[in-house]
Amino acid sequence: MSENETNNMTLNSLSNKGTSQNRKRVGRGMGSGTGKTAGRGHKGQKSRTGGGVRAGFEGGQMPLQMRLPKFGFTSRTNNHLKEVNVKNLNGLDVITIETLKENKIISKSVKKVKIFGTFDLESKLKVQGIKVTKGAKESIEKAGGSVADVIAPVIRPKGVKKTDRTSG
């Protein structure tokens, strides 16, 4: 640009050539080329502002995602419980949740463990603080090991507090 052009330039005549898009000015009368219905056709829900349907809507027909069969389920309440077979514990001495985590038999997120199964053990197992099934207890005691009973937590009915209970 020359000096004269820059002096004559005002704010309303500035333009950024090359980056601005030529947008269609829709609905600005018959002379605009896209006047009157502004490319929306005639009448109906889709011609109105705010008109249209949500994604997946099939005009009242049962949608595809509801027609397809459902499968799979992951319980969120039981994610921290793990069952361990007795034969996986062969060779250990004292068994607690911590020792099972150290030996990578269970993952770190596990909070409750139950030992199951029957197996002829070679080592004496001493189980502490873990639930054990009847068959697993027999096979542990048969090998000369011991099982410490797990103390179950006190479960009170909803709304009953410690002070509300009467002794008698």
- Domain locations in the chain as residue ranges: 81-147
Q: How confident is the model at residue 166 (pLDDT cuts 50, 70, 90)?
A: low
Q: Which pair of structure tokens corresponds to residue 46?
A: 């889709």
The yes/no answer on whether domain 81-147 falls in CATH 3.40.190.10 is no
Helix (H, G, I), strand (E, B) or coil at 147: strand
Single-letter amino acid code for the residue at 137: K
Q: Above 90 in pLDDT, residue 86?
A: yes
- pLDDT higher at 62 or 23: 62
The share of the chain scoring above pLDDT 90, in percent, equals: 41
pLDDT of residue 164: 57
89 pLDDT higher than 70: yes
Q: 150 in helix, strand or coil?
A: coil
What three-state secondary structure class fits 46?
helix
